[in-house]
């Protein structure tokens, strides 16, 4: 079983604040995906990063893949209540047939 730690486990912030959540492992991955899960629904893909050091932006969300492809971060600027949810990272290895998930960060943005 892969060890995929996400931090913080819980995060509660005020609307308009910035935040960063992390996904860390000791293993090297070929790619990594970030998902957001809202209550009562399944996770939805936000982004896939593939290259070490890669940065991708999705509106107010900025995703970075570590240079060594062992970790990733998600930064949200000016958080909105609609950003509330469970953020999951899901790395994959070359040749692997499944995606496994990190422990998740539960984000609550208070209006």
Partner 1 sequence: DTAVSQTPKYLVTQMGNDKSIKCEQNLGHDTMYWYKQDSKKFLKIMFSYNNKELIINETVPNRFSPKSPDKAHLNLHINSLELGDSAVYFCASSQEGGRSPLHFGNGTRLTVT
Residues that bind partner 1 (CB under 8 A): 30-31, 33, 35, 37, 40-45, 48, 50, 86, 88, 90, 92, 94-101, 103-104, 106
Euclidean distance between CA atoms 105 and 35, whole angstroms: 11
Euclidean distance between CA atoms 23 and 4, whole angstroms: 7
Nearer to partner 1, 3 or 15 (CB): 3
Q: What's the closest the beta carbon of residue 100 comes to partner 1, in angstroms? A: 6
Q: Using DSSP, state whether 79 is helix, strand or coil.
A: coil
Q: What's the closest the beta carbon of residue 76 comes to partner 1, in angstroms? A: 19
Q: What's the closest the beta carbon of residue 25 comes to partner 1, in angstroms? A: 15
Nearer to partner 1, 41 or 82 (CB): 41
Nearer to partner 1, 4 or 79 (CB): 4
In the Cβ-directed half-sphere of 79, how many Cα atoms lie within 13 Å?
A: 22
- The sheet carrying 55-58 orders its strands as 5-7, 19-24, 71-76, 61-65, 55-58
């Amino acid at each position: 079983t892969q060890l995929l730690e996400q931090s913080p486990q819980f995060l509660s912030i005020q609307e308009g604040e910035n935040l960063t959540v992390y996904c860390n492992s000791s293993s090297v991955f070929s790619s990594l995906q970030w998902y957001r899960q809202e209550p009562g629904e399944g996770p939805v893909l936000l982004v896939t990063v593939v290259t070490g050091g890669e940065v991708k932006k999705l509106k107010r969300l900025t995703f970075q893949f570590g240079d060594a492809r062992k970790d990733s971060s998600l930064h949200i600027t000016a958080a909105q209540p609609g950003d509330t949810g469970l953020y999951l990272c899901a790395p994959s290895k070359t040749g692997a047939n499944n995606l496994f998930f990190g422990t998740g960060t539960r984000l609550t943005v208070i209006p």
